[in-house]
Amino acid sequence: MRTEDPRPIRLKDYTPPAFAIDEAMLDIELDPARTRVHSTLKMRRNPASKETAGPLVLDGEKLKLLEVRIDGELLGPNRYSVDGEHLTIHEVPEGKFTLETVTTCAPEENTALTGLYLSDGIYCTQCEAEGFRRIAYYLDRPDAMTVFRTRITGDRKKTPVLLSNGNPVKSGKTKDGRHFVEWHDPFPKPAYLFALVAGDLAHVEDKFVTMSGREVTLRIFVEKGNEDRCAYAMEALKRAMKWDEERFGREYDLDIFMIVAVSAFNMGAMENKGLNVFNDKYILARPDTATDADYAAIEAIIAHEYFHNWTGNRITCRDWFQLCLKEGLTVFRDQEFTSDMRSRPVKRISDVRLLRAHQFPEDGGPLAHPVRPESYIEINNFYTATVYEKGAELCRMIHTMAGPKRFRKGMDLYFERHDGEAATVENFLDALADGAKLDLTQFKRWYRQSGTPEVLASGRYDAARKTYTLKMSQVCQATPGQPHKEPYHIPVAVGLVGPDGKDMALTLDGEDKPGAKTRVLNLTEREATWRFRNVEAKPVPSLLRGFTAPVKLSANLKERDLVFLMRHDSDSFNRWEAAQRYATGLLVAMVEAEKTGVPARKGGAFAEMVNDLLTAKKIDPDFVAQIILLPSEQTLAQIIGQEVDVDAIHAARERLRASIATQTKDALLAAYTRMEVTGPYRPDADHAGRRALRNVCLGYLSAAPGDEGIALAAGQFRTADNMTDSIAALSVLSNIDCPERREALDAFHERWKGDHLAMDKWFSIQAMSSLPGTLDEVKRLTGHPAFTMKNPNKVRALITNFAAANQLHFHAKDGAGYRFIADKVLELDKLNPQVGARMLGAFKSWRQTEPKRRKLMQKELKRIAGTEGLSRDVYEIATKTLA
């Protein structure tokens, strides 16, 4: 155990900072071992603070303090004290004063990748959430906003490019082959949005003319040699800039917008003002190196970070409890952007998939927390699916309730009221309520209560009266610290599908004429009933269309109703949903059969649907690819929910895949041929959709008995002219024990061993293989020259992927998977606690596994929690998971 347990930070303890910073000047002399930072802060007591006396306490970690001055006077050691986390100056002048500190830090030793570090010889910073304190002593909190001036000095050869936020104002040579650039950011910002990048970088340049006619220079900086992989990112950036003007009226505000791609990065990307820093896998793309999924992620993340300029930067967060204020809202905005650029239904399906795969288990497990948490030990642990994805769902619900026009009015008011401020969730909700004319009083509970509400729906048709009565009720299970829940305000979009497969116009009791075919009903009580009139024939209800609320719906529909909806529902999301539910029902029964030996049914309707969809004249390939795909092993484990047996799940799913493939083989083969894309590669939704469907067909064909699938996959691997088809074929082969597998893996390695992003794909495919011996293979690959524990992408590709995406082997009966991951978590705890804590997340479902595995998982969790000197990151996850 730790000698002193770290104490939680609480929302209710919030007070404004005791001091204000009117201006910050940083003079940074770069050096790998000893970077010198001279910080000059113009300060005074904060008029908004109740504290009118007392010391000045600044945050700082891993800094060596050389000098402290106030108004130019050097302070002796009796005037201040320093510990591992703070610099405390016992007394400061009454009015305005200037505080100077000189400190050093060591970028080359920084493996945590927070603060100032080196990524392949490039200096870069990551300051969100609390990294700035590793660069200089500061009020490192988001409500301390100021204007920054930054002067960077570095070696002319090693760091010809010196970047920071805002506009460059001065540059020149200094002595000993060094030079400097001075930057000025006119927009007051918190320290977490500060950034510095320096290195021998190449760049591509373009420009954008804003809606008011201002010309903005756009630059993407990359390692030399990667200039030919930036075109797509640049186009995506311009699309995002245009979209934010059109959809939200938001214009870019500086003369230059820069993006830098680095290979060592803890997350996806970071929205630093005017200088976004990206994990290079979300910038670099060329048809032969990036898959369609990579292209889509690049477009979405570029947009996400760009959109933060308004939702995050211009309006920032008062404190870290308000994280969803910027993240949930910005995810909602990027989801809408992608929906407008690509297929809206397919985007909705993939977002709901993600929500269910990551957020629902979080909400139903030991790490459950509200979208706005009320306490944390380490804020880095709260960049979660709940804050991001559920946070986005909450914005989407407001959008659904208000409709697009009123939602826009609410957003306009939010920007008008709070531009330049550090705001709260209440500020946001008040602006939306006022601007969109909504009552959000009860809705606010969504931000406070954790857990996924369950909605139970049942309908009754009265043929004599021609009425349809829909009853809905809600419950929400207890979550850690929240035994009782108040009812939520849940918007449920509803349609009634007639026997002809067409939507009925809906007339509610008390209305005299029929309304829309999809109506949004507001479930606000624990139970409520709606009655529809003039319902001419018995309908099948289509509930929660478009997934209008992040809830678990049980409608207890009969199998034949699901089959009907998966064929006829006009709401694409619900068509997909019906197919998933049908397949899930089948698979759960098969898993049961796997255990009991009683055979389950064949699931003919699903195969029939696959067959019909594939042979239909007009199809939307991307959507078909989604709807014919079976729920994942993880999804099945979640739905089964207790005493989970991963072997039975794997076996059942493989059997159903084989059975569907056998029943639909001709259609699969025909579609495989028909979907082939000819001509030059294009990453757009149209071509990507065809490739997606073709590769889903390939997957099924490989599950059919016989070697035909192997031959197809091997052939596709050999002839593919793009990474999407190459990786799809390799993934298929990686799960089959055949000579073609090794040949393909070796060929891929031979071709791409010099390309770090392609190598990540090679590692991750092997980590996810279902073949026996995968864990040993993963262990062996940790010794591969391209692998290093110091690069998060490598760690995630090979190890986190194994833990999170290879259910079969992570949960190996003998506990070897658990042991291996626990060892790696402990190793990372010393190098990069953020990445370590995330990997540990794989243990959160330990209570749902069968008793033997449960014990083994608990043992590893205890071993970790009992380790001396743990980081706050890993400590918090380990102890909360066990609690």
> Which residues are identified as catalytic?
305
CB 627 within 8 Å of CB 345: no
Binding partner at 565 among ligand TRP, Zn ion, none, C-beta below 5 to 8 Å by kind: none
Cα Rg of the chain (Å, integer): 28
CA distance 858 to 850: 12
Nearer to ligand TRP, 645 or 873 (CB): 873
Give 330 or 638: the residue with its C-beta nearer to Zn ion. 330
CB of 536 to ligand TRP, least distance (A): 50
Nearer to Zn ion, 362 or 645 (CB): 362
φ and ψ at 580, to 5 degrees? -65, -45
- Work out how close the CB of 391 gets to Zn ion at its nearest, in angstroms, rounded to a whole number: 10
> In 3D, which of 208, 222, 236 has the Cα closest to residue 277?
222
The size of the interface with Zn ion (CB under 5 A), counted in residues, is: 2
Among 129, 543, 640, 661, binds ligand TRP (CB under 6 A): 129
Residues binding ligand TRP: number (CB under 6 A) = 13
Q: Using the rule CB under 6 A, which residue among 35, 101, 164, 266 binds ligand TRP?
A: 266
Q: Which amino acid is it at 323?
A: L
28 or 193: CB nearest Zn ion: 193
| Distances from the Cα of 431 to the Cα of 393, 446, 522, 740, angstroms | 18, 17, 21, 60
CB of 810 to ligand TRP, least distance (A): 25
According to CB under 6 A, which one of 196, 269, 497, 835 is a site residue for ligand TRP?
A: 269
State the minimum distance, in angstroms, from the CB of residue 331 to ligand TRP: 8
Q: Does 383 bind ligand TRP (CB under 6 A)?
A: yes
Among 268-276, 612-620, 626-634, 727-735, the segment contacting ligand TRP (CB under 6 A): 268-276
Restricted to residues 325-364, the positions that interact with Zn ion (CB under 5 A) are 327, 330
Q: Report the residue number, 270 or 610, with the smaller CB distance to ligand TRP.
A: 270
Q: What is the DSSP string of 842-860?
A: GGTTGGGB-HHHHHHHHHH
The tokens of 752 are what? Answer: 């791409």
Sign of CA dihedral 593, 597, 601, 607: positive
Shortest spacing between CB 192 and ligand TRP, in angstroms: 8
Contact flags string 647-666 toward ligand TRP, x per CB under 6 A: --------------------
Q: What is the DSSP string of 495-532?
A: EEE-TTS-BPPPEETT-SS---SSEEEEE-SSEEEEEE
CA 876, 276, 314, 406 dihedral sign is negative
Q: Please identify, using beta-carbon distances, which residue of 383 and 576 lies nearer to Zn ion.
A: 383
Three-state SS for 268-290 is CEECCCCEEEEEHHHCCCCCCCC
Residue 126 binding result from Zn ion, ligand TRP, none, given CB thresholds of 5 to 8 Å by partner type:
ligand TRP
Residue 305 binding ligand TRP, by CB under 6 A: yes
Three-state SS string over 796-811 comes to: HHHHHHHHHHCHHHHC
Nearest CA-CA partner of 235 in 760, 680, 682: 682
Please give the residue whose beta carbon sits closest to ligand TRP in the complex: 267
**128 lies in the site for ligand TRP, by CB under 6 A:** yes
Residue 130 interacting partner from ligand TRP, Zn ion, none (CB closer than 5 to 8 Å by kind):
none
Question: Which of 306/446 has CB closer to Zn ion?
Answer: 306
Identity of the residue, 600 or 839, whose beta carbon is nearer to ligand TRP in the bound complex: 839
Which has the closest alpha carbon to 837: 849, 826, 851, 853? 826
Q: Give the residue with the Cβ less far from ligand TRP, 269 or 586.
A: 269
Distance CA 675, CA 860 (A): 47
Nearest to Zn ion of 114, 572 (CB atom) = 114
Helix (H) or strand (E) holding 205: strand 201-209
CB of 832 to ligand TRP, least distance (A): 11
User: Which one among 101, 103, 126, 664 touches ligand TRP, defined by CB under 6 A?
Assistant: 126
Shortest Å distance, C-beta 130 to ligand TRP? 9
| Of 35, 380, 726, 793, the one binding ligand TRP by CB under 6 A | 380
Nearest in space to 141 (alpha carbons), one of 187, 86, 185, 97? 86
Residue 271 lies near ligand TRP (rule: CB under 6 A): yes
- By CB under 6 A, residue 270 contacts ligand TRP: yes
- Return the bridge partners of 10, or none: 375
CB of 272 to ligand TRP, least distance (A): 9
Q: Which span (320-328, 551-559, 662-670, 799-807) binds Zn ion, by CB under 5 A?
A: 320-328
The nearest distance, CB 270 to Zn ion, in angstroms, is: 8
506: tokens are: 């809906």
Other CB atoms closer than 10 Å to residue 516's CB: what's the count?
11
Burial class (CB in 10 A: 0-12, 13-18, 19+), 550: buried
- Binding to Zn ion in span 99-118, by CB under 5 A: none
Which partner, Zn ion, ligand TRP, none, binds residue 380 by CB below 5 to 8 Å per kind? ligand TRP
- Name the nearest CA neighbour of 542 among 498, 483, 586, 482: 498
Residues in the chain: 883
CA angle (756, 759, 760) in 5-degree steps: 90
Least distance in angstroms from the C-beta of 132 to ligand TRP? 12
Per the CB < 8 A criterion, the answer to whether 607 and 663 are in contact is yes
Q: How far is 422 from 435, CA to CA, in rounded Å?
A: 20
Among the candidate windows 200-208, 294-302, 322-330, 685-693, which touches Zn ion by CB under 5 A? 322-330
Stretch that binds ligand TRP, among 121-129, 215-223, 474-482, 667-675 (CB under 6 A): 121-129
Min dist CB 780 to Zn ion, Å, is 36
The Cβ of residue 655 has, within 10 Å, a number of other Cβ atoms equal to 16
Total H helices, total E strands in the chain: 29, 32
Measured from the CB atom, is 317 or 637 closer to ligand TRP?
Answer: 317
Q: Which stretch binds ligand TRP (CB under 6 A): 39-47, 124-132, 425-433, 448-456?
A: 124-132
**How many Cβ atoms sit within 10 Å of the Cβ of residue 357?**
17
389 lies in the site for ligand TRP, by CB under 6 A: no
How far is residue 795 CA from its own chain's centroid? 17
Those residues with Cβ within 8 angstroms of residue 678's Cβ, 6 or more apart along the chain or in another chain: none
* Of residues 312-351, those binding ligand TRP (CB under 6 A): 327
Name the 3-class secondary structure at 398: helix
Site string (533-552) toward ligand TRP, x via CB under 6 A: --------------------
Which spans of this chain sit near ligand TRP (rule: CB under 6 A)? Answer: 126, 128-129, 266-267, 269-271, 304-305, 327, 380, 383
Which spans of this chain sit near Zn ion (rule: CB under 5 A)? Answer: 327, 330
